[in-house]
Amino acid sequence: VKIIKRILAVLTVVIITVPVIAISVSLLISSPNSGKEIAEKKGLKHRMAIAHRGASYYAPELTIPAFETARDYGADYLETDVQRTKDGVLINYHDDDLKRTTNVEEIFPGRENDPVGSFTYAELMKLDAGSWFNEAHPERARPGFAGLKIPRFEEYIDSALSDKNNCGILIELKKPEYYPGIEKQILDALRNKGWLDKKYKPVVKVEKITGDLPVQWGLSKQRVILQTFDYESLKILKSLAPEIGRNLLIDDKSIKQYKTFEKMIELAVENESEMGPWGYMAWPWFVRKVHKTDKYFFVWTIDTGLYFRLFTFFGVDGVITNRSDKFLEFLGRELSDTPENILKKYN
């Protein structure tokens, strides 16, 4: 009798706790495909491979070889960081100063800690933005990287299109508070290049993904997405070009400023932006909350198979990665060409 009582007690506990756990878990996490419908509605691919600073594992970040390599192996979008020179030229550059990825110390001694925006375009053209990569990564070094220039924003735009692949462009306004009016300037550059023209039809690649609708790259209104950590700048972008896609980037500083992740979601809703949280915020309960408000979840910057598996299981939609080649492979999408082949001309 005692044993039967014990078994009954255990069964009762199991019968009560298992559904409670199952319900709690289902309330916390979303299914890996919970963003699929949202993506389709917005004209975005559900899982996309976004080349962070170009194919920055294989070539110096934010240079033309990095952009072209990612384009030619088949990345969906090229991510860049845009800043402005002292004389008003838009350039692709990430850091506040030039010392990590150029030879500024050698060419302009004493100015190595000066902000990028204190240099004229002509001055920047004296810098080598490629040799640092050869020194930092001898196993991936190529003689042709030496002497590469920091590209103008317009050169980056052009690098997204070729007869091999047409990428979307994901443009980060880096520290826009340093560059008043940069929002309009970026939009003007895109407009001048025809990228904001509704009738603009670059070479179109129609891709059939098994079980999915065909996706026409280069025709989607989402071929340009603008992103920034700076909410004020995002508001300006909305007022200037409401129809162009926006993404609110989020890191720990944003959370410090706005207090909670939920507040960030509110801001994204208010601004009609998608959401781009830093990797450690891609918890399933956050992904769920983002999807609940009909937002696409971009995650950055994750580079390993383990994280690809984990975060796609959690339901993230777009992956901003230095290893967009690996992520494409993870998705079962064959590379159009190998980085090795594409980069041969820099040997």
Residues at the contact surface with ligand G3P, assessed by CB under 6 A:
52, 79, 81, 94, 172, 249, 276, 300-301, 320
CB of 301 vs Ca ion, minimal distance in Å: 8
CB of 332 vs ligand G3P, minimal distance in Å: 24
Question: Closest by alpha carbon to 185, among 83, 64, 80?
Answer: 83
Helix (H, G, I), strand (E, B) or coil at 43: coil
Q: Taking a C-beta distance cutoff of 8 angstroms, is the pair 302, 311 a contact?
A: yes
Compare residues 81 and 274 and give the one whose CB is closer to Ca ion: 81
CA dist., res. 138 & res. 145, Å (int): 12
CA dist., res. 322 & res. 133, Å (int): 14
- Cβ burial, residue 134 (10 Å; 0-12/13-18/19+): middle
Which residue's CB comes closest to ligand G3P?
Answer: 300
**249 interacts with, out of Ca ion, ligand G3P, none, CB within 5 to 8 A per kind:** ligand G3P
151 HSE (CA, 13 A, CB side): 21
* Residue 46 is a catalytic residue: no
Q: Taking a C-beta distance cutoff of 8 angstroms, is the pair 230, 249 a contact?
A: no
* Residue 291 is a catalytic residue: no
For residue 81, state whether it binds Ca ion (rule: CB under 5 A).
yes
**300 interacts with, out of ligand G3P, Ca ion, none, CB within 5 to 8 A per kind:** ligand G3P
Compare residues 298 and 330 and give the one whose CB is closer to ligand G3P: 298
Tell me, by CB under 5 A, how many residues bind Ca ion: 2
CB of 318 vs ligand G3P, minimal distance in Å: 10
For residue 172, state whether it binds Ca ion (rule: CB under 5 A).
yes
For residue 303, state whether it binds Ca ion (rule: CB under 5 A).
no
Compare residues 108 and 283 and give the one whose CB is closer to ligand G3P: 283
Cβ neighbours of residue 150 under 8 Å, at least 6 residues apart?
Answer: 62, 63, 91, 92, 93, 102, 124, 125, 127, 129
CA dist., res. 105 & res. 127, Å (int): 10
Compare residues 94 and 137 and give the one whose CB is closer to ligand G3P: 94
Residues forming the site for Ca ion (CB under 5 A): 81, 172
* Residue numbers annotated as active site: 52, 94
